[in-house]
Amino acid sequence: MGRLDGRVVIVTGAARGQGEQEARLFRAEGAEVLLADVLDDRGEALAKELGARYTHLDVGEEEDWQAAVATAKAAYGHVDGLVNNAGILRFHALVDTPLEEFMEVVRVNQTGCFLGVRTVAPELADGGTIVNTASYTGLTGMAGVGAYAASKHAVLGLTRVAALELAPRGIRVNAICPGAVDTAMANPARLDPDADPEQSVRALDGFYRKLVPLGRIGRPEEVARLALFLTSEDSSYITGQPFVIDGGWLAGVSVI
């Protein structure tokens, strides 16, 4: 018995990184998964490997969302879960951030999450689940990522309001707040075909040893297990909450 047997879940940003691992784990736990992304070749190939489906979905585009839900319903008949995972990160001090860049980060991270909830929630079977991917920076500040942090704080606001509004239908809405995770976002070497992935992870583990109590960068498979918990019946009495998965980074600073 899989923990998601009989459930149909849409995962955005599923072509790589945390979304890829969520799609893999959800399939392994018995779910039908609709992988959605803008990286069509990669998403198609992964869906084929997993025996799942892929759809092009730019999360900032209303029409793409409607098409994705229609695809899921045509293929599987119903939708039980959504993981709003797609996201982008840009680095600038706030005073140097071009308006265009700020708005693009908001479009993907915040508007994308809003459109996902707004489009998918009415279609969810009662008892459905939504997992929004916020961040460690949805709960605290980090210099150099102002647009991103603002958008991830907003994701937590959306999560709480959606949880309140959807609770009467038994739909649960929670958020994941990862710290640093070994994906292309935090480890650009993952996008370099000439780079040695093991070496890049060792270097990042060394960097985070000083910052993170558990002494290493997180792995996308670890985040996927949290997404599974929040999408399955194991979390049946939990809604409206942010779940920090950061190796203890947010716990505080050490002076010893």
List residues binding ligand NAD (CB under 6 A): 12-13, 15-19, 37-39, 57-60, 85-89, 108, 133, 135-136, 178, 180-181, 183-186
Q: Record the tokens describing residue 99, joined without a space.
A: 């308006």
Nearer CB in complex with ligand NAD: 5/192: 192
Nearer CB in complex with ligand NAD: 41/168: 41
Nearer CB in complex with ligand NAD: 29/246: 246
Q: Record the tokens describing residue 124, joined without a space.
A: 């969810």
Q: Residues 54, 148, 208, 237: which is the catalytic one?
A: 148
- List the strands of the sheet with 172-178, edge to edge: 53-56, 32-37, 8-12, 79-84, 124-133, 172-178, 242-245
How far apart CA 226 and CA 233 sit, in angstroms, is: 13
Nearer CB in complex with ligand NAD: 28/250: 250
Q: Record the tokens describing residue 168, joined without a space.
A: 């009467």
Q: How far is the CB of 240 from ligand NAD (least distance, A)?
A: 19
CB 184 within 8 A of CB 37: no
Q: How far is the CB of 255 from ligand NAD (least distance, A)?
A: 26
Confirm whether 76 is a catalytic residue.
Answer: no
Q: How far is the CB of 65 from ligand NAD (least distance, A)?
A: 10
CB contact set of 15 (below 8 Å; sequence gap of 6+): 35, 37, 38, 39, 42, 43, 46
Q: How far is the CB of 95 from ligand NAD (least distance, A)?
A: 23
Radius of gyration of the chain (CA): 18
Active site (catalytic) residues = 148
